[in-house]
Chain A
Amino acid sequence: MAGDGTPILEVDALTLAFGGVRALSGVTFPVARGSITSVIGPNGAGKTSLFNSISGFYRPQGSVRFEGQSIERLAPPKRAKLGLARTFQNIALFRGMTVLDNIKLGRHAHMRTGVLDALFYLGRARREEMELRRDVEERIIDFLEIDHIRKAPVGSLPYGLQKRVELARALAMRPKVLMLDEPVAGMNREETEDMARFILDVREEWGVTVLMVEHDMGMVMDISDHVVVLNFGQVIAQGLPRDVQADPQVAAAYLGSGNVDDLRAKLGADARKVA
C-alpha cells in the first residue's frame, strides 16, 4: 500500500560531514503518507546519521520537509511536536521510571499543564492527566499487550519488552511519522514476528507512516512499501522491495559481488526465518 498524494516526509540532498568524513552525501528520498519505508545498508552506511539528522540532532546541509514545511532549522522538541516520533537503536527509555510514566512522557509536547496547574493539581492538570491515563491505557497499553507490566520499572524488563515500551512511548507522541531505529535488532524470531505485526497494525489502525532502519532483511522485504538502500552515505538504490533486491549494486554492497541471485538466496533465508 503506497501512500497517496504528496509525500509526508521528503529528505532532499542531505549532506553531513564529521571532520573530513562524509557520513551522508546528497541523500534524497520521499516517504509516502501511510507507507512503511525502510532504510537499509551495511554497517556504517549512514543510517543512524540519517535518523539523527531527521530528528534534529545533527545539522546537515540539504533539506528535510515535513508535510511540505521545511523543518531542518527546528530543534528536536519542535520536530517532536509536529508529529515526528522515534525510537533508538540502543533503547533510550528512562530505566528508573515505570512503564506507565515512560509512556506518559511521550505526550509531553501535546499537553498544556503549566507549573502552577501542576502544583495545585486542580482543573487543567487533573483533567489532562486523567485523559492521558485513559488514552494510554485504552489505546496503547492494551494495543501493545503490556498491561501486566505497567507499574514495573523499565530497567527490570527483558530487552524485547523494553523495545515494545519504547514503541508505546513513541505512539503516545501522537506521531504522524514513526521513525524506528532497528526495532527488531537483537530479538529472537518470535519477538521479531510480534514486532512486525505491531508495526503493520500501527499503520493500519493509527494511520501512521513508518520510517525504519533495520538489518533484518527478511522483515524489511516482507512489510515495506518502499526500500532505500544506503552505502557509504549515498543512496545506491530505492524502490519496491523486489526491485531493490534485483539491483546488482545492492548485491555488491551487501555481498561484495554483483550477483543478484546470491542476494536473493540470502534474503530468502532471512525471510524464511521470519515467516
Chain B
Amino acid sequence: MRIASAKESYATDEALFDSAVQRAWFAVLLLALALFPFTVNQYWAYLACLAAINVISATGLNILTGYTGLVSLGQAAFMGVGAYTVAVLEARLGTPFLLNLLLGGCMAAAVGMVFGIPSLRVKGLYLAISTIAASFILHFVFANWTSVTKGVSGINVPPARLFGIDLDTPFKLYWVIVPLAVLMLLGAANLFRTRVGRAFIAVRDRDISAEVLGIPLLRTKLTSFALSSFYAGVAGGLWAYFFRVVTPESFPLLMSIFFLAAIIVGGMGTILGGILGAVFMTLVPELLKLGVGVVSPFWPEAAVVLSPVRTVVFGALIVGFLVFEPQGLTEMWRRTRRFFHLWPFKT
C-alpha cells in the first residue's frame, strides 16, 4: 500500500515523475529497454522496432485526436510524407541520417498543417472525413509524381548510417529507434505541463471559452496538426529506414485506422494510452500467428485464414473497446494499480 507523498516545492509537484517510486520505475524500465535486445533474437528486435515506430506515430495522433479533439484519418499519409522525404533525401542526396529524419518530420508537419486548414471551418466527423480526403490526395501524389517518387515502383532506401556504421539489422536500428521513441514520448509528456498542451486540451473541451481565455483557435489547431504530423513524419522516416523501400501502397487508409484504433484501445488523451495501444496493436497479429502455430497441426489451413482473422480481430477490438472499455487499456491499468495500492486493506 502506498500513501500520498508530501511535496516540498512547486517544482517537485510539477515534475513529470512526481515521486521517488515513479522515478525508480522509470529507471527500471529504461534499463529493461537497454537490455532487451541482448536477450532476444532478431525477430523480437524487429518487433520492438516496429512497435516503437508505431508508438511514435500513435502518440502524434494522440496529441491531435486525444488531446486536441481533432479526429484524423490521415496519420498514415503524413507518415508517408515523412517516409518519402527521407527516402528521396537518402537515395538522391545522401544527407545525414538524423538530418533526414528531422527534415522528414518538418515536411510532414508542413503538409499536415495545410490539411489542417479545414479544421477552421469544420469539426468532428466532417474533419475526419476531410482527412480521409487528404489521405487519398497524398496517395495520388505518391503514385503519380513519378519524377520524385518513382511512382508505383517506389524508392529503395539505403541503410541508415550513423558514426560510420550501417544500421542494416533490427538489432542495430533498435539503438536509434527506441531511444528516439523515448525522447519523443518525454517531449509529448512535457508538452502537457505547459501552456501549449493546456491550450490543446482547452480547444478540445470547449473551444468557445478557450477563445475568451486568449487562445486563438485556428493557430492552436494548426499547431496541433503540425506537431502531430511531425511525429508521424519522424515515424515515417524511421519506417523508411526500417523497411528500406517506400511505395504508395505502404501507407494505406487502413494504416491510419490502425493508429486511430491504437489510441482508442490504449486510451485517448493520455501519453500512456498511445504507448499501450500501439504496442498492443502491434503485438496482436503476432499473438494470432502464435495461435496459428498452435492449431495448425490439427487444422492445416489455419495459416491461410491468418490475414482475414487479423482483420476481424482488429475490427472487433475497436468495437469491443469502444463499447465496453471506452477509456482503453490505460483505465484497465489504473484499476489494476489502484487495486494494488489499496491492497490488502481493500480488494
In the complex, are the beta carbons of A95 and B196 less than 8 A apart?
A: no
Pairwise interchain contact A109-B196, C-beta atoms closer than 8 A: no
A228: shortest Cβ distance to chain B, in Å? 21
A92 lies within 8 A of B193 (CB): no
Q: How far is the CB of B221 from chain A (nearest CB, A)?
A: 13
5 tightest A-B CB contacts, nearest first = A109-B214, A80-B214, A92-B209, A119-B187, A121-B190
Question: Roughly how many angstroms separate A57 CA and B212 CA in the complex, as a whole number?
Answer: 9
Asked whether, in the complex, the Cβ of A105 is within 8 Å of the Cβ of B205, the reply is: no
Q: How many residues of A contact B (CB 8 A)?
A: 44
A264 within 8 A of B: no
- Please list 14 pairs of residues, one from A and one from B, whose beta carbons are closer than 8 Å in the complex, sorted by A's number: A56-B211, A57-B208, A77-B217, A80-B214, A86-B212, A92-B206, A94-B201, A96-B201, A107-B195, A115-B223, A125-B190, A129-B194, A130-B11, A173-B213
Beyond A75-B211, A77-B217, A114-B196, list 14 extra A-B contacts (CB 8 Å).
Answer: A80-B213, A94-B201, A96-B201, A101-B198, A105-B198, A106-B213, A108-B198, A108-B199, A109-B214, A109-B215, A129-B194, A133-B10, A137-B10, A173-B213
A111 touches B195 (CB 8 A): yes
- Is B216 in contact with chain A by the CB < 8 A criterion? yes
Q: Does A218 contact B (CB under 8 A)?
A: no
Proximity bits, B192-235, A CB within 8 Å = 1, else 0: 01111111011001101111111111000001001100000000
Question: Does B8 lie at the interface of the complex (its beta carbon under 8 Å from any beta carbon of A)?
Answer: no
Contact, CB under 8 Å: B202 / A105: yes
**Whole-angstrom distance between the Cβ of A248 and the nearest chain B Cβ:** 37
Q: Which residues of A contact B197 (CB under 8 A)?
A: 118
Q: Does B295 contact A (CB under 8 A)?
A: no
**Interface status of B287 (Cβ within 8 A of chain A):** no
A106→B214 CA distance, assembly (Å)? 8
Contact of B206 among A57, A76, A94, A113 (CB under 8 A): A94
What separation, in Å, do the CA atoms of A130 and B13 have in the docked complex?
10
Whether the Cβ atoms of B205 and A95 lie closer than 8 Å is: yes
Q: Which of A40-92 contact B (CB under 8 A)?
A: 55-57, 75-78, 80-81, 85-86, 88, 92
What is the interface size of chain B, counting residues whose CB is below 8 A from a CB of the partner? 32
Which residues of the other chain, B, contact A18 by a CB distance below 8 angstroms? Answer: none
With A94-B201, A95-B205 known as contacts, the answer to whether A76 contacts B211 (CB < 8 A) is: yes
- B194 engages A118 (CB within 8 Å): yes
Nearest residue in A to B214 (C-beta to C-beta)? Answer: A109
A97 an interface residue at 8 Å Cβ cutoff? Answer: yes
Chain B residues, CB < 8 A from A85:
212
The interface of chain B, by Cβ under 8 A from chain A, is 10-11, 13-14, 187-188, 190-191, 193-199, 201-202, 205-206, 208-217, 223, 226-227
- Residues on A with beta carbons closer than 8 Å to the beta carbon of B193: 118, 121, 125, 129
Which residues of B have CB within 8 Å of A104? 195, 198
Query: Given contacts A88-B209, A92-B209, is CB(A125)–CB(B14) below 8 Å?
Result: no
Contact A173 B214 (CB under 8 A): yes
Q: How far is the CA of A130 from the CA of B15 in the complex (A)?
A: 11
Give which listed residue, B13, B213, B217, B227, contacts A109 with CB less than 8 A. Answer: B213
B10: A residues at CB distance < 8 A? 130, 133-134, 137
Most chain B beta-carbon contacts within 10 A, residue among A77, A101, A117: A77
Q: What's the least CB distance linking B214 to chain A, in Å? A: 3
In the complex, what residues of A have CB within 8 A of residue B215's CB? 77, 105, 108-109
CA–CA, A88 and B198, complex, Å: 20
Residues of A contacting B13 in the complex (Cβ-Cβ under 8 angstroms): 133
Residue pair A130, B14 in contact (C-beta under 8 Å) = yes
B331 → chain A closest CB, angstroms: 14
Residues on B with C-beta less than 8 A from A76 are 211-212
| Cβ A118 vs Cβ B205 within 8 A | no
- Expressed in whole angstroms, the Cα–Cα distance for A113 and B227 within the complex equals 15
Q: State A75–B218 Cα separation when bound (angstroms).
A: 12
Q: A75 touching B216 by the CB < 8 A rule?
A: yes
Interface residue A33 (Cβ < 8 Å from any Cβ of B): no
Most buried by A among B194, B201, B205, B208: B194
Q: Are B191 and A105 in contact (CB under 8 A)?
A: no
Q: Are A108 and B214 in contact (CB under 8 A)?
A: yes
Looking at the assembled complex, report how far the CB atom of B318 sits from the nearest CB atom of chain A, in whole angstroms.
Answer: 23
What is the bound-complex CA distance between A107 and B195, given in angstroms?
8
A163 contacts the other chain (CB 8 A): no
Residues in chain B near residue A108, CB distance under 8 A: 195, 198-199, 202, 213-215
Question: Chain B residues with Cβ under 8 A from A78's Cβ?
Answer: 214
Given contacts A55-B212, A76-B211, A120-B187, contact A113 B194 (CB under 8 A): yes
Chain B residues within 8 Å of A118, by CB: 190-191, 193-197
Which chain B residue shows the least CB distance to A82? B214
* A169 adjacent to chain B (CB < 8 Å): yes
